[in-house]
């Protein structure tokens, strides 16, 4: 829980308000003018709440609120006043004030308003913590954690690179949870699924009647993520025509909903991820170079799982525990054959593949410990260059025969040697009369 900053030039009234708040368990700080309040806000925490009198010696507090939003400070803001004027209330609410409370009603309305703010803050944090993020401890990931620690408190755009399944979204979530925006939304967008014709509405929203079928106002991704983080997953798949729109928003910090007459301020942090070689995509005219520069203020590259083998067993144990909860099972661990198989597997699908295999193994396991058979670690035929690949149809029968002979007739070992699944091997043996 943060503190409440009381901006009030009437020191006696400020003292009374602070006593109310302190009785409710809140820490308070007081300030008497906008100039000093700005200095205080530069050091404020994300969970702090501002309770500000409307009229102050150096202007109206809505000027402070406007300054805060322009400087991407998203602390909750409540206006209180002796002058309940409609136009100032409207102005305050448009700027993002949570409420506009006449001072005579403050005792009745203040705590319910504050409690509502706290509930939203807690809900946002709970939504993020609900996603289990495993703490990997390999040398490579210790370096990544250090880079996250350095960049998270800033508002720099971050580009996360890595193969499919390496956990790019989890890293993006971690950056968000360690940032000053952690109490605000984390919005994930699958860039490859966005239709060019609907992209503008998807990102920026639209107003009712903007086009045929626009029967109501729609909030876009940028507004959903306001004050928080917008995660652009697989940004390399973003259609070229959408890239220009995105670039403008990032550059100007403004966007306009479809059909609207005025721009909205954009207050989001951009974190993007891709498995694409974006430099190559730029050379091939599939990705804008200027957008790439905007996205990669800071880069984090995730290594494939095969390069972090010390992470395999801790991750496997983590996913086993998660799968036990999901599937209502009580699998205790892995036998020696399973551990060896996990370490030897190439993991072309990285952490995502490992999670899927462990979940399947937990479901199949009939004893206390997962076995190699439970894991079903069948390697795709062409996963790696080996002497026993089944590319040449004419030689296929002979290679199967040789593999069986080399393995003493053990079909499981022969399937491994051939880099195919056992069911595939059984079918081939039947086809060629090798039973």
What CATH number is attached to the domain comprising 98? 3.40.50.2300
Distance CA 389, CA 420 (A): 9
**Mean pLDDT, rounded, of the chain:** 86
What local confidence, expressed as pLDDT, does residue 329 receive? 94
- Are residues 111 and 49 both part of a single domain? yes
Instruction: Tell whether 264 and 399 lie within a shared domain.
Output: no
- Of 128, 155, 178, which closes a domain? 128
Residue 286 has pLDDT above 60, yes or no: yes
Q: Specify whether 100 is located in the same domain as 28.
A: yes
My answer on whether 224 and 99 are in the same domain is no
Task: Say whether pLDDT at 162 is over 50.
Answer: yes
pTM, entire model? 0.59
Mean pLDDT of 337-350: 92
CATH number of the domain bearing residue 174: 3.40.50.300
Cα separation of 221 and 226, whole Å?
9
| The pair of three-digit structure tokens given for residue 195, joined into one six-digit string | 């239709």
Same domain, 295 and 316: no
Question: 429 vs 130, 391, 396, 413, 432, CA distance in Å?
Answer: 48, 16, 10, 14, 5
Domain's final residue, options 303, 325, 341: 303
Considering the domain architecture, whether residues 25 and 155 belong to the same structural domain is answered as no
pLDDT score of 387: 38
State pLDDT tens for residues 209-243: 888 777 788 888 999 999 999 999 999 988 888 89
pLDDT at res. 386: 37
Residues 92 and 107 both lie in one domain: yes
Position 124 scores a pLDDT of 64
* Both tokens assigned to 282: 């730029």
The residue among 104, 128, 152 that closes a domain is 128
Q: Containing H/E element for 191?
A: none
DSSP bridge partners of 189: 232
Whether 386 is covered by a domain: the verdict is no
Higher per-residue confidence, 87 vs 293: 293
Same domain assignment for residues 122 and 111? yes
Of 176-190, 346-360, 392-406, 407-421, the one with minimum mean pLDDT is: 392-406
Question: Is residue 135 included in any domain, yes or no?
Answer: no
Q: Is 385 a member of any domain?
A: no
pLDDT digits (tens, 9 = 90+) for 40-91: 998 888 889 999 998 899 999 989 998 988 876 888 999 998 875 666 666 7
Look at residue 223 and tell me if it is in a domain: yes
pLDDT value of residue 134? 56
Confidence category of residue 381, pLDDT binned at 50, 70, 90: very low
C-alpha pair distances (Å), 289 with each of 68, 210, 244, 299, 358? 32, 32, 11, 15, 40
Q: How far apart are CA 109 and CA 3, in angstroms?
A: 18
pLDDT band at residue 312 using 50, 70 and 90 as cut-offs: very high
Would residue 382 count as lying in a domain?
no
- Lowest-confidence region among 116-125, 144-153, 265-274, 319-328: 116-125
CATH number of the domain where residue 399 is located: 1.10.10
Q: What is the pLDDT of residue 119?
A: 78
Q: Are residues 351 and 369 in the same domain?
A: yes
Residue 383: pLDDT band by 50, 70, 90 thresholds?
very low
Choice among 155-159, 252-256, 402-406 with the minimum mean pLDDT: 402-406
Q: How far is CA 196 from CA 260, 279, 297, in A?
A: 19, 23, 26
- For the segment 364-371, the average pLDDT, to the nearest whole number, is 94
Q: Does the structure show a pLDDT above 50 at 304?
A: yes
Which residues, other chains included, contact 59 with Cβ-Cβ below 8 Å and sequence gap of 6+? 34
311 and 420: one domain? Answer: no
Q: Widest CA span of the chain, in angstroms?
A: 97
Count of domains forming the chain: 4
Residues 269, 159: Cα–Cα separation, whole Å? 12
Residue 58 within a domain: yes
- Tell me whether residue 383 is in a domain: no
- CATH number for the domain spanning 325: value is 1.10.8.60
Q: What is the pLDDT of residue 9?
A: 93
Same domain assignment for residues 153 and 297: yes
Confidence (pLDDT) at 213: 76
Distance CA(337)–CA(316), nearest Å, equals: 14
Question: Which whole number is the average pLDDT over 133-154?
Answer: 84
Q: Are residues 194 and 161 in the same domain?
A: yes
Residue 384, domain member (yes or no)? no
Domain that holds residue 92: 3-128
**Position 334 pLDDT exceeds 50:** yes
């Amino acid at each position: 829980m943060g503190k409440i900053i009381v901006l009030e030039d009437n020191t006696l009234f400020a003292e009374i308000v602070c006593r109310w708040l302190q009785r409710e368990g809140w820490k308070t700080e007081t300030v008497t003018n906008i100039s000093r309040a700005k200095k205080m806000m530069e050091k404020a925490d994300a969970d702090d709440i501002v309770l500000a009198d409307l009229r102050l010696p150096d202007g109206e507090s809505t000027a402070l609120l406007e300054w805060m939003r322009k400087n991407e400070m998203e602390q909750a803001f409540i206006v209180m006043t002796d002058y309940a004027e409609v136009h100032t209330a409207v102005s305050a609410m448009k700027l993002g004030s949570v409420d506009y409370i006449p001072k005579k009603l403050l005792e009745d309305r203040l705590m319910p308003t504050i409690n509502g703010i706290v509930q939203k803050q807690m809900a946002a944090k709970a939504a993020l913590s609900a996603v289990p993020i495993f703490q990997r401890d390999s040398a490579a990931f210790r370096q990544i954690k250090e880079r996250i620690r350095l960049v998270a408190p800033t508002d720099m755009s971050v580009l996360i690179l890595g193969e499919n399944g390496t956990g790019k979204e989890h890293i993006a979530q971690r950056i968000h949870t360690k940032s000053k925006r952690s109490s605000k939304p984390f919005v994930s967008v699958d860039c490859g699924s966005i239709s060019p014709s609907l992209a503008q509405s998807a990102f920026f929203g639209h107003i009712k009647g903007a086009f045929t079928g626009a029967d109501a106002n729609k909030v876009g991704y940028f507004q959903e993520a306001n004050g928080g983080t917008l995660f652009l997953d697989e940004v390399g798949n973003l259609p070229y025509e959408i890239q220009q729109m995105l670039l403008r928003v990032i550059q100007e910090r403004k966007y306009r909903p479809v059909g609207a007459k005025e721009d909205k301020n954009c207050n989001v942090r951009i974190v993007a991820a891709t498995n694409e070689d974006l430099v190559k995509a730029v050379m091939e005219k599939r990705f804008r170079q200027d957008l790439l520069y905007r996205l990669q203020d800071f880069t984090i590259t995730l290594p494939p799982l095969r390069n972090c083998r010390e992470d395999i067993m801790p991750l496997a144990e983590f996913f086993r525990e998660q799968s036990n909860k999901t599937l209502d099972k009580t699998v205790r661990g892995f036998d020696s054959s399973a551990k060896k198989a996990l370490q030897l597997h190439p993991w072309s699908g990285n952490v995502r593949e490992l999670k899927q295999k462990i979940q399947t193994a937990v479901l199949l396991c009939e004893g206390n410990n997962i076995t190699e058979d439970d894991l079903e670690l069948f390697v795709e035929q062409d996963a790696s260059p080996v002497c026993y690949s089944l590319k040449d149809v004419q030689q296929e029968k002979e290679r199967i025969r040789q593999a069986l002979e080399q393995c003493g007739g053990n079909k499981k070992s022969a399937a491994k040697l051939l880099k195919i699944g056992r069911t595939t091997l059984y079918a081939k043996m039947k086809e060629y009369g090798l039973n």
